[in-house]
Structure 1
Amino acid sequence: MIALYRTALFIGSGFIAFGNNKVCAFVSPLAGVNPIVNNIQRFSNDFGRKESSLRSINADDEISTFSKNDKEVFDRNKSRLVWLTGWADMRTHDHDGFLEAVAAAANTDDELVVPVFVIDPTMHLRSQSPSSLRRLHASLLSLEKDLMSISSSLLAPLVVRTGAASSVLPTLADEINASTCHVIADDVISTRRNVQRSTCNALIAMDVEVIRWDTSLRPSAPWTSIGENGIRKGNIPSFFPDYCAIADSLSIEEPKKHFFRGLVEDDNPMITAAAYPSEGIPSLEKLIKMAESETPDAVLKARSSRPTISTTEPYDDLVTRWSTEASARKALKEYVSVGKDEFADTHFIASDAANVGSAFIKFRPSQSMYASAMARVQKNNKPSDVFALREAPTRAFTPALSLGSISAREVVGAARNKSPVTPPQFFWEKKNRDNTNNRAQLFPSDDPFLGRSSEGSLSDVVEWREWFHLLAERSLELQEIGESGTSGGEKSMSGDPREQGTIHYWRWKEQHLVRYITWPAGKDYMEDNEEDRSPAMLLVHGFAASAEQWERLVHSLRKQGVDSAGKDKTPPIFAVDLLGFGHSEKPGLSYTQYLWESQIIDFSMEVMEAQPMVLVGNSIGGGLSAGAASSLGNDICRGVILCNTAGVLEDPSTYSGYDGGNYSGPGKSSIMTYTEAAMKGNPNEAPYSPVPIFGNNVLDLFGKVIIKTIYPQIEKRLSLIYGNRLENADPAVTYAIQQSAVGPGSDNVVGSGQKLSINRPLNEVLFSDNKDDGFPILVVVGLDDRVSSPAVAKTRAELFSRLKSEKVNVKIIEDGGHCPHDEVPEKVASIMLEWLPTSHKQVEDQEAKLKKTQFMEEEIMSS
């Protein structure tokens, strides 16, 4: 029997709650006193007395008769915490934490399950976007309501508190005499992983048992046990096809039922466990203000002052409505019933793509180039005709899967067993497996020749997320035992030396895993005043490459960055994997340049927190860096370094700005710049047209053919690209590219090139900021470029040199190729280090000139 001091009795809308040796009452006028008193009398014998009236029940009253037995009672009555983190655990169905806690409490006398959510500034607030906060808020409100609907003496209502989880949770555990805490396994996101570990360690230190649970699809997989190298994930193969060879033969654990079924049958629904002190869920407006108070001023200023920094994703309002358990499960039921095409055409309407025209929501983020680019793709088309093969289920369910409003096992179970089964197109695609829990015969290795079924698309969303999460866990665990966690680190290295950094993960839009690597600032970096320090660097790779390709350049920068006095003032360096490359996820979205630019902008805001930086990009990474720099502005981006960059570059002698577009029909918009056109979805350009006859299903096939053609030639092509420094085209470079190329989703990334929007010319984006018209720009050109050709490299170098010469510094490397930063890293590093101080001086001069102009304007206005 649950002890009285921890029991709240709900009658009508009133209750009496006993907790922490205090008793408080709120009695509805509709609730009779006698039934409450009678129920209290029924449970008061545990304490050797009977409550006969409510006269002494006040919020501040102590129950004096507990004084002799308090410690005895307190020691006897234990609690089990279920810590909800906001990552993969915000639900009541298929929740191992709740199931294990309730089962244990039901088999133990005087034990209570207390769910708790700690709004931790680091995990949930700092630098978070309003969209992410909206989804978290909706999920939290829904979960609280669902828990309140369960009347049980075993389960307390949700406790919500704010503060550092590592101190708040131990304090709560002490208050309620918690013996155990059930919490999901460590996330791979650096900030959350650190908070989870420090909190669990604090609980263990006070003798609270911590029980971890996870959401893995295949608990019997060999990578769930400790491998020869001493780590749990060490048995995960490095390549996705090898992983599939094992995973295909393993059963996926069926989703578990609602934990309410685990409550004891004779549990009295009229006796409801105590509501422990809770701060309650703040309003959305208050939550956003709380986040703003934890966010650096530079981030807030940038978000409020520059419209181009907005990275609102397409369908933001729509998918936010599917962030709760009830709405996500309802959407899942509809999807498996009608199929992905009808589901997409019903919900993903054009106005939602651009986030305009839908019902007014107070906290809706502003329009963005990312959202507008998708609106352009969808204009005059049905979503089912232009979406990527897996785009509808990816956009619909990824936010809820990330929060945990719906479980991965439930989604893949619905795909396998609740959808109409689509027969294979070709006889060789049929797979005969003896698996009663897979009616649709879906497997991770599925690679259909053309198209993808509704149920297969849904299953792929979960299977692909599982693979990239396991790959991230593997990398982090290897790193923690002192081994290399990169792909290239598994192979022999030759040529110029590398410096491996620290691997981290970040979840873009709180949905998609992104790997990034960091190198700390030099030991003497902080000696200078903030305005005298070199800005941080953000390195953005080219097509098919990854953050690992910058390791040689970083080594040279850090080696050459030590001055003659032995001072190392090298700035902090970040390198990020673009979505679809490296170890970042490859979700089934429509990829455009504005998706990637948005990723770079969000990384700058959420991870680097708007600290001054220089953007460095190679190939397409150069074009993306230039676009992101233009959006970020001079306050954040202090310069741009372009290494054999991609991007449209017009002849400066004939370039005259935005040309008005090629559309001449009715309703042509009056637009002044390419950036304005991009923000509006390029209305003056011809809309996107799906591939005739075959439709967009053929885009994945196109990507597949390209990859299968090039894959056997990767080593040979790298030898050609690195022709002047063959030693640097070592097995490590080859291996990293090969691993990424066969990752799930690669076909779609390549095929999405068909959907790219009109490019903003480099002529505009490099000189669009209002501070003296542009950024300091360093252009490094390897003339022996065997990707675009030496002739093209020479022509582009000449065009760059004719751009505003006071801003642009062009450096030519005769024996450098398409990736000069990795082929001749020492030369590129030397050029960069020579340029950095002068670029810094240019920015300072610009800022002084701007301040002087503002002062003069103020003087004129005042006179």
Structure 2
Amino acid sequence: MRNLQQLHSPRYILLYVLCCLCTYSSFTKVHAWTPSVSAKTTSTNVQVVLFGVGDLRVDDHVGLWNAIQTTREEIVNGNAQRSFILPLFVGQTQMLQNIPGMKAHTYDTCHLVSEAMQQLQESLQQDLNLNLSYVSCDTNDTNATSRKKSSFLSVIQETVGKALSKRADDSNETPNICIHVCDLGPADNSIQYGPYPHLLSEMEQTTTNDNVTIRPWKASLREIPIDDIRTIPNDYPSYQAQYASVPCEAPLDVVPASSGSSSSYTCLSTSTTIPNAEELMEQVGVDASSSANSRNTGLYATHWGGLAYDSVGCRFALNQVRSYVQDYQQDDTAWFFSPKRAIARANPNSLEHAAMEWQLQCSNSYSNRESDINSGKPLNWLPGESIIRFLSAPMFLGTVSPRRIHSLTASNEQPWSAIFKNETPLQSMILAREWHVQLATQHLRQEPSAKYWRYHGFLCRYFQTDLTNNPPLHSKQSPKEALLWVHGFGASGAQWKGTVEALKKQNPQQHTAHTAFCPDLLGFGHSEKPALSYTGYLWESQMLAFVKEIMEHDTYTVGGNSIGGYTALSLAASDMACSTNPLSASGAPGTKSCTGLILLNSAGPVMTKEEIMAGDKTKLSVAQQTQQQLLPPCSPPPRWVGRAFGNILLQYLRPRIQSICVNLYPTNPSAVSSDLCENIRRDSLDPGAIYVMMAGAKLPLPRTANELLQADAGAGDTQSPESSFANRPVLIAQGVLDPLNDAQDRMERFAALRAGVTAVPIQAGHCPHDEVPEIVADEVSKWLRATQATRAALFDASVTRPLKTSL
């Protein structure tokens, strides 16, 4: 009683108000709203901290900070007994299904989300004396009454009501509910894997409840007026020049600010428990045993690719960053071989994993670790690549704050860094991620056909176009078919616009495809360009994930140009991988839904029968050599040489983009538009664009077209006949005037590989789809019609495919 009297004494209240004002002075700078001291009230106020994928942490959590500050204010207002905080995760089925990775890597993603929530629960309990409540709901019910009961808002209100009813001091009055929810930004909100867009949608469809307030928050690195897209430059150097002087926001120390003061708020909790991975799989409609074959099929040394699940949570992930920055001074080699680092477990069926271990073996990473550290020999990976791979999942799940990472690296800068203005790899990653979020926000408002998704947490753009012109001319019995177009080196999905528009203008009966998809590969276009060792296996894995995550069609035909042609060729073979023999780029079973392949001036080796007969006939396939670590040693030049060469090459190419493209478009130079040249120039200026150039010096031996298409000669025995692309039709639409190689000879080599390959010469250069899009569209349509019966017969409705959702 004496403590309560002291708590409400005028002197204590005055001191507390002063403390709050001091706190709010810094609080106002970072956040969009500030609690205010109001008259004494006896109403019940509940601060709901609505967690979701993207903010599963305590540190630098703006919503949690706001909720704590607001409940402290209630003490000043004399309402301490009726003010509560409810940390809550609403497991809405559709939202869980929309989580990037949930379809391509279901097993790993469910384990990661569950582990992240478990560590968040531990942090809330130990640091703030709060409990995370988990409530599952399903909004897919077709019954209107059930749908209303399962809405986000109704679930939150019901959860608050039930929690209050269990308290002895329940007043039965309608509580005031303030929902603190993270706004991930337009690009991520469009994917709808966080709660905020679902809340917004419900608020638009229902009458506003005066007792419910939504308080969105962001933890932006800089306060930039993104609402006015005219203020955001289109290229990164201009953006940096305009906003580099804007100071970065400091992260919020939620725990130190709240330590010892849990008596200033009361936790409102339910008796729910955090679901384990198997329970999450059941909720999203996936069988745990069948999804296990997708385990550890992500990029190597990420949490989808071999890292332990318990290293993804907010406690472990932040400690890893601290260790890398403070203990090892951001020294890649020392940290990579440290006992504190999470170690990746390679998938023996993943060629991307094998290729990365091949690069690391040549860095002596599997020899004497101690001598490696003492010698200071750098890894063959890019600077910071090991920590960037590790952070891909924690950054995506929000278990570690970008502002915290930036603050840690800034506070541990070496003296020469400020003099030479050198960014560390972690600083570059944080700044680059911020830029791509801003760029996506701008692009979404300017380009209606653009969409975004995340691959391993990295933001990627794609274009989606309906080719049917809406009339239902396709038979209901025939499978729903898509076209997937993969761009070449230095290009983007936008380069397929001409071909896609030409296909759309045709009578829908002239071709059989329903939808066209044109994604940007990681490292190109408007997609992020992280410091990764890019290989064909990485892009092949990305495209297989795209098929599973985005393309909800029964079948698809994949086409590609140049290096995109080789990616398409590899994807077609990879998508046929079965669970009993899944040797492929990712090591994951395919969807078996790829029924056709179109190559336009494809890259990659193609061998004739004579070349094969003259060689070693007992030689293992390239896939087997890669898997068994039998490739020649990886010997790239030193990092500084690779970076210098890449910079010089980019500086040389940028002012010559138009002349180079004109040379590549010999029959229609007018197709080299200012938009094409500007897009290529803009993309090359993105942070990290040089990493693709640097990766070229350490690429593993590529598989041949003979091997991938299961040719009559040179195919090897990597795949069993039932899991190969041997019986799928192929179109070679070759620009025979390509100045980069003997295009006629390559077309003939492809045509001779096996039966089912149709070769069509086109009077065009290296990029016929952009130089003469109408001609290419006509040839594609003819081939689609001619092979329709064959491709339709290949569709196997019994094959289990990734779950389908509707955004």
Alignment TM class, shorter chain as reference: 0.7 to 0.9
2:492 maps to what in 1? Answer: 546
Does residue 252 (structure 1) correspond to residue 248 (structure 2)? The answer is yes
- For residues 658 and 197 of structure 1, the distance between their equivalents in structure 2, rounded to whole angstroms, comes to 59
Q: 1:97 aligns with which of 38, 60, 63?
A: 63
Identify if the C-alpha distance between structure 1 residues 581 and 312 changes in structure 2 by more than 3 Å, giving closer, same or farther. closer
2:301 maps to what in 1? Answer: 314
Q: 1:182 aligns with which of 180, 183, 193?
A: 180
Does residue 159 (structure 1) correspond to residue 133 (structure 2)? The answer is yes
Does residue 820 (structure 1) correspond to residue 768 (structure 2)? The answer is yes
1:665 maps to what in 2? Answer: none
Deviation per CA, 1:200-259: give whole Å up to 9, x if none: 34257334221111121111x3x34x42xxxxx442110000011022211111111115
Does residue 802 (structure 1) correspond to residue 752 (structure 2)? The answer is yes
Does residue 118 (structure 1) correspond to residue 90 (structure 2)? The answer is yes
How far residue 645 of structure 1 moved from its aligned partner, in angstroms, is 0.6
Check whether the contact 1:322–1:396 (CA below 8 A) recurs between aligned residues. no
How far residue 524 of structure 1 moved from its aligned partner, in angstroms, is 5.1
1:17 maps to what in 2? Answer: none
1:211 maps to what in 2? Answer: 215
Does residue 290 (structure 1) correspond to residue 275 (structure 2)? The answer is no
Does residue 328 (structure 1) correspond to residue 309 (structure 2)? The answer is no
How far residue 92 of structure 1 moved from its aligned partner, in angstroms, is 0.9
Task: Spell out the pairing of 1:208-607 with structure 2 (5 A cutoff).
Answer: 208-219=212-223, 221=224, 223-224=225-226, 226-227=227-228, 233-258=229-254, 261-262=257-258, 265=261, 268=263, 273-278=267-272, 280-293=273-286, 310-315=297-302, 316-318=305-307, 320-337=309-326, 338-339=328-329, 340-347=331-338, 352=343, 355-356=345-346, 367-382=349-364, 384-419=378-413, 421=414, 423=416, 430=419, 456-476=424-444, 478=445, 484-485=446-447, 502-509=449-456, 511-523=457-469, 526-529=472-475, 532-533=478-479, 535-563=481-509, 570-607=513-550
Q: Which has the higher contact order (CA 8 A, sep 6+)?
A: 2
Return the TM-score normalized by structure 1: 0.73
- State which structure, 1 or 2, has the greater radius of gyration over its C-alpha atoms: 1
Task: Spell out the pairing of 1:135-146 with structure 2 (5 A cutoff).
Answer: 135-146=112-123
Compare 329-338 and 589-598 and name the one that shifted more.
329-338
Deviation per CA, 1:803-839: give whole Å up to 9, x if none: 22x310000012x111100110111000110111222
Check whether the contact 2:43–2:176 (CA below 8 A) recurs between aligned residues. no
- For residues 784 and 549 of structure 1, the distance between their equivalents in structure 2, rounded to whole angstroms, comes to 19
Check whether the contact 1:618–1:644 (CA below 8 A) recurs between aligned residues. yes
- For residues 819 and 711 of structure 1, the distance between their equivalents in structure 2, rounded to whole angstroms, comes to 19
- For residues 615 and 92 of structure 2, the distance between their equivalents in structure 1, rounded to whole angstroms, comes to 46
SS at 1:617's partner residue?
strand
Identify if the C-alpha distance between structure 1 residues 579 and 146 changes in structure 2 by more than 3 Å, giving closer, same or farther. same
1:449 maps to what in 2? Answer: none
- For residues 464 and 561 of structure 2, the distance between their equivalents in structure 1, rounded to whole angstroms, comes to 18
1:147 maps to what in 2? Answer: 124
How far residue 571 of structure 1 moved from its aligned partner, in angstroms, is 1.3
How far residue 95 of structure 1 moved from its aligned partner, in angstroms, is 1.0
Read off the aligned partner of 1:505 and give its amino acid letter.
Y
Check whether the contact 1:518–1:574 (CA below 8 A) recurs between aligned residues. yes
- For residues 582 and 728 of structure 1, the distance between their equivalents in structure 2, rounded to whole angstroms, comes to 19
How far residue 612 of structure 1 moved from its aligned partner, in angstroms, is 1.0
- For residues 705 and 387 of structure 1, the distance between their equivalents in structure 2, rounded to whole angstroms, comes to 20
- For residues 699 and 672 of structure 2, the distance between their equivalents in structure 1, rounded to whole angstroms, comes to 30
Task: Spell out the pairing of 1:662-811 with structure 2 (5 A cutoff).
Answer: 672-678=620-626, 680=627, 683-691=629-637, 695-767=638-710, 770=722, 773-786=726-739, 788-789=740-741, 792-804=742-754, 806-811=755-760
Read off the aligned partner of 1:394 and give its amino acid letter.
I
Task: Spell out the pairing of 1:5-20 with structure 2 (5 A cutoff).
Answer: none
Check whether the contact 2:119–2:313 (CA below 8 A) recurs between aligned residues. yes
- For residues 463 and 657 of structure 1, the distance between their equivalents in structure 2, rounded to whole angstroms, comes to 53
Read off the aligned partner of 1:162 and give its amino acid letter.
S
Return the TM-score normalized by structure 2: 0.78
- For residues 90 and 525 of structure 1, the distance between their equivalents in structure 2, rounded to whole angstroms, comes to 45
Check whether the contact 1:468–1:585 (CA below 8 A) recurs between aligned residues. yes
How many residue pairs get matched? Answer: 679
Check whether the contact 1:644–1:819 (CA below 8 A) recurs between aligned residues. yes
Identify if the C-alpha distance between structure 1 residues 616 and 630 changes in structure 2 by more than 3 Å, giving closer, same or farther. same
Read off the aligned partner of 2:197 and give its amino acid letter.
R
How far residue 131 of structure 1 moved from its aligned partner, in angstroms, is 2.3
Check whether the contact 2:604–2:705 (CA below 8 A) recurs between aligned residues. yes
- For residues 128 and 159 of structure 1, the distance between their equivalents in structure 2, rounded to whole angstroms, comes to 28
How far residue 703 of structure 1 moved from its aligned partner, in angstroms, is 1.3
Read off the aligned partner of 1:807 and give its amino acid letter.
G
Identify if the C-alpha distance between structure 1 residues 178 and 504 changes in structure 2 by more than 3 Å, giving closer, same or farther. farther
SS at 2:452's partner residue?
strand
Read off the aligned partner of 1:643 and give its amino acid letter.
L
- For residues 800 and 550 of structure 1, the distance between their equivalents in structure 2, rounded to whole angstroms, comes to 23
Read off the aligned partner of 1:464 and give its amino acid letter.
A
Read off the aligned partner of 1:655 and give its amino acid letter.
I
- For residues 255 and 413 of structure 1, the distance between their equivalents in structure 2, rounded to whole angstroms, comes to 7
The percentage of aligned residue pairs carrying the same residue is: 25
2:595 maps to what in 1? Answer: 638
- For residues 437 and 607 of structure 2, the distance between their equivalents in structure 1, rounded to whole angstroms, comes to 42
How far residue 275 of structure 1 moved from its aligned partner, in angstroms, is 2.0
In structure 2, list runs of 5 or more residues that go unmatched: 2-40, 140-147, 161-174, 366-377, 577-590, 711-718, 800-807
- For residues 320 and 772 of structure 1, the distance between their equivalents in structure 2, rounded to whole angstroms, comes to 35
Read off the aligned partner of 2:90 and give its amino acid letter.
V
In structure 1, list runs of 5 or more residues that go unmatched: 2-73, 228-232, 357-364, 432-440, 447-455, 479-483, 486-500, 662-670, 852-863
- For residues 653 and 598 of structure 2, the distance between their equivalents in structure 1, rounded to whole angstroms, comes to 29
Read off the aligned partner of 1:322 and give its amino acid letter.
S
- For residues 601 and 239 of structure 1, the distance between their equivalents in structure 2, rounded to whole angstroms, comes to 30
- For residues 305 and 657 of structure 1, the distance between their equivalents in structure 2, rounded to whole angstroms, comes to 39
Read off the aligned partner of 1:127 and give its amino acid letter.
K
- Runs (4 or more) in structure 1 with deviation over 6 Å come to 303-307, 348-351
- For residues 128 and 696 of structure 2, the distance between their equivalents in structure 1, rounded to whole angstroms, comes to 54
How far residue 161 of structure 1 moved from its aligned partner, in angstroms, is 1.4
SS at 1:430's partner residue?
helix
How far residue 784 of structure 1 moved from its aligned partner, in angstroms, is 1.3
Deviation per CA, 1:524-565: give whole Å up to 9, x if none: 57553455256211110000000000000001011124349x
Check whether the contact 1:515–1:577 (CA below 8 A) recurs between aligned residues. yes
Check whether the contact 1:99–1:259 (CA below 8 A) recurs between aligned residues. no
How far residue 570 of structure 1 moved from its aligned partner, in angstroms, is 4.3
Check whether the contact 2:479–2:792 (CA below 8 A) recurs between aligned residues. no
- For residues 351 and 800 of structure 1, the distance between their equivalents in structure 2, rounded to whole angstroms, comes to 44
2:608 maps to what in 1? Answer: 651
Does residue 173 (structure 1) correspond to residue 120 (structure 2)? The answer is no
Check whether the contact 2:181–2:195 (CA below 8 A) recurs between aligned residues. no
